[in-house]
Amino acid sequence: MASNWIDRRVVVTGLGVVTPLGHQLDVFWNNLVSGQCGIDRITAFDPTPFTTQVAGEVKNFDPLPAFPSPKEVRRTDRYSQFGIFAGHQALLDSGLDLDRENRDEIGVIIGSGIGGLSTTTEQLRVLFERGPGRLSPFMIPMLIGNMASGTFSMYKDLRGPNFATCSACATANHAIGEAWRCIKMGDAQAMFAGGAEATIVPIGIGGFCAMRAMSTRNDDPKRASRPFDKERDGFVMGEGAGVIVLEELEHAKKRSAKIYCEIVGYGNTADAHHLTAPSPGGEGAARCMKMALRQAGLNPGDVSYINAHGTSTPQGDVCETQAIKTVFGSHAKKVAVSSTKGATGHMLGAAGAVEMTVCALAIKHGVVPPTINLQVPDPECDLDYVPNTARELKVNVIINNSFGFGGHNASIAARKFTG
């Protein structure tokens, strides 16, 4: 492997998603750009006692094609099933023939913000109703947050760098950034990176309800998530996974891989401010975007599109808007900015990878997805959020933002691949 990390270029060659808008790449993209919404009243359990009764659920999901056997599915939490399936889809999309690769040089970083909440809930019920002797021996391996990454590497016999990020809603972007670093530093030739989350269970919904963080627009689920709209009243929970394949450029070229885009920068900062609230004026987010641009050798005016974190929370959307203004100056009102969480809900630890997939497809197709449900302008959110209708746009450079509870910030810079 090359010793000079700065010369190692990293490209994206495969994409896989599991989302409330579909779990095949083309279905997801077509639904997204046509303005569809995957949010509805919760069906996984009776939500009547909860102040929030809507979410972006993954429907009609069959994980078996990505698993060795039905037994292995039963031994895996729903969040891991999502992550493994998305990883399998990304592998197929990339065209990588693992039998012809050195598996010591292919790694996996699939994180989760919360991990196996379904398993935790079920096993607590068993403990309280039937006693500790009836707990499953698979309980711990099912619920820990690294197991999507670990299990996927086992199924595919991938022996390179392997770990899981856990930084709340910044999880998947951190996974992508750290995978990029692994390849830049010569520790791997290819990496599977992303995040998975499955928190639409009573304790998950109830916990966020107790924080008063989620929308209570229960009578109008399709319009509950309203990023940057003046009438937004909180985020809507989503579930699913996103995994992308990153490769060292020469490795990808040698096998004539299709290339979606090139990852060129990664910002990683802390607010050091508050458990859940962003730093005033989006100061930490601004430093994060600046870091990504600096690493990429790009100027703010080079950026065509920002996929905003844009969660539909009153404070968060304003702070991100302020951060974009800080970084982009006079270019802030010229760059296209959109949040796809109005369509998918907030997929927490999976969000960054699904949204990086959106960015890669925006570059490929020359189309920026809309911010749906943006109907009432907010004077404090006054950028070009691509409201309600997708836009044809030549996308050369993107920034993908993810910001998490705990003050974790992650921004990815990518550009259209040019030889």
Kindly give the confidence (pLDDT) of every residue in the chain, 419 residues in length, as a single tens digit, with 9 standing for 90 and above.
Answer: 334 556 899 999 999 999 999 999 999 999 999 999 999 999 999 999 999 999 999 999 999 999 999 999 999 999 999 999 999 999 999 999 999 999 999 999 999 999 999 999 999 999 999 999 999 999 999 999 999 999 999 999 999 999 999 999 999 999 999 999 999 999 999 999 999 999 999 999 999 999 999 999 999 999 999 999 999 999 999 999 999 999 999 999 999 999 999 999 999 999 889 988 888 899 999 999 999 999 999 999 999 999 999 999 999 999 999 999 999 999 999 999 999 999 999 999 999 999 999 999 999 999 999 999 999 999 999 999 999 999 999 999 999 999 998 889 999 999 999 87
Task: Quote the pLDDT of residue 277.
Answer: 85
> For the whole model, what pTM was predicted?
0.96
Count CA atoms closer than 13 A to 43's CA, side-chain side: 9
Task: Quote the pLDDT of residue 6.
Answer: 61
Active site residues: 169, 309, 346
Mean pLDDT, the chain, whole residue set: 96
Counting every residue, how long is the chain?
419
- CA-atom Rg of the chain in angstroms: 20
Task: Quote the pLDDT of residue 278.
Answer: 83
Task: Quote the pLDDT of residue 5.
Answer: 54
pLDDT one-digit tens code per residue, 226-278: 999 999 999 999 999 999 999 999 999 999 999 999 999 999 999 889 988 88
249 vs 259: CA distance, rounded Å: 9
Bridge partners, residue 246, by sequence: 12, 191
Task: Quote the pLDDT of residue 1.
Answer: 35
Q: Tell me the CA distances in angstroms from 360 to 63, 366, 367, one per residue in order.
A: 24, 10, 10
395 vs 393: CA distance, rounded Å: 6
* Residue appearing with tokens 């095949």: 24
Task: Quote the pLDDT of residue 236.
Answer: 98
* Of 226, 204, 195, 212, residue with least CA distance to 57: 204
Q: Which amino acid would we find at residue 59?
A: K
Count CA atoms closer than 13 A to 216's CA, side-chain side: 11
pLDDT one-digit tens code per residue, 158-174: 999 999 999 999 999 99
Give me the helix-helix angle, 147-156 and 78-94, nearest 10°: 40
pLDDT one-digit tens code per residue, 195-225: 999 999 999 999 999 999 999 999 999 999 9
Domains and CATH numbers, the chain: 12-254 (3.40.47.10), 262-415 (3.40.47.10)
